[in-house]
């Protein structure tokens, strides 16, 4: 028995499917906009809190370089330090770090975003026990994870257990903050800092496969 297919029988399901697609697409777009705004707001709040964490004496922060360099001041206008926001590639994604510096010395480090790092490993780089190692180090010499310091001349921090890649990412971000400070605030020779930065960037720390074999993240 042949079933007669009329134009109406084809048109109605097609229009219904088309309308469903429009509604679903609009709903997804609305959800994405709401979620994106919420994520951006949460990140801004986290960043603002991070500035206070690394420069606790500051009452206000003046933005000197958009989204990067902030001058912390007391209520009377006295500068008490600088908060510098930098980022580096970690094991699972981007790691965002706030570094507080005053008079050429690091006064605080706060990892305010490392959500893509491994729980219990790389995410532990946000712990005070790791971040506090940077306090008191100076901006005139690059910092290295202790196992990478072959020369013995660098300032060093101990990596989080089984999270060397994430620890290096934080250290790289702190070094970048020190270079930004030297170039814009400090009196150190910026060309020396930039040369050191390039050397650190090109240094062969070994493949991720080799690191994983040693039990590192």
pTM > 0.85: yes or no = no
pLDDT in tens, 146-157: 999 877 777 999
- B/e letters for 98-110, b = 16+ CB within 10 Å, e = fewer, are bbbbbeeebbbbb
pLDDT in tens, 70-101: 999 999 999 999 999 999 999 999 999 999 99
pLDDT in tens, 108-153: 999 999 999 999 999 999 999 999 999 999 999 999 999 998 777 7
Angle (CA) 196 161 132, round 5°: 60
For residues 155 and 75, the answer to whether their CB atoms sit within 8 Å is no
Cα separation of the two ends of the chain? 67
Please tell me the distance from the alpha carbon of residue 124 to that of residue 70, in angstroms, as a whole number. Answer: 26
Task: For 101-141, give the DSSP string.
Answer: EETTEEEEEEEEE-TTSPTTTGGGGGSHHHHGGGTT-BTTS
């Amino acid at each position: 028995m042949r079933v007669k297919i009329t134009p109406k029988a084809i048109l109605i399901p097609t229009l219904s499917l088309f309308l469903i697609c429009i509604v679903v697409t609009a709903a997804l777009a609305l959800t994405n906009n709401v979620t994106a705004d919420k994520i951006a707001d949460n990140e801004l709040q986290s960043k603002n809190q991070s500035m206070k964490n690394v420069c606790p004496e500051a009452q206000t922060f003046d933005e000197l370089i958009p989204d990067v360099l902030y001058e912390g001041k007391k209520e009377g206008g006295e500068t008490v330090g600088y908060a510098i926001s930098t980022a580096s590639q970690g094991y699972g994604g981007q790691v965002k770090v706030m570094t507080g510096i005053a008079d050429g010395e690091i006064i605080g480090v706060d990892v305010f975003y490392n959500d893509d790092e491994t729980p219990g490993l790389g995410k532990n780089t946000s712990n005070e026990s790791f971040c506090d190692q940077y306090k008191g180090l100076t901006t005139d010499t690059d910092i290295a994870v202790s196992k990478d310091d072959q020369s013995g001349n660098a300032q060093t921090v101990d990596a989080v257990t089984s999270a060397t890649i994430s620890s290096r990412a934080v250290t790289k971000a702190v070094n970048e903050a020190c270079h930004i400070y030297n170039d814009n605030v400090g009196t150190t020779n910026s060309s020396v800092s930039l040369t050191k930065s390039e050397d650190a960037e090109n240094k062969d720390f070994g493949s991720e496969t080799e690191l994983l074999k040693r039990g590192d993240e």
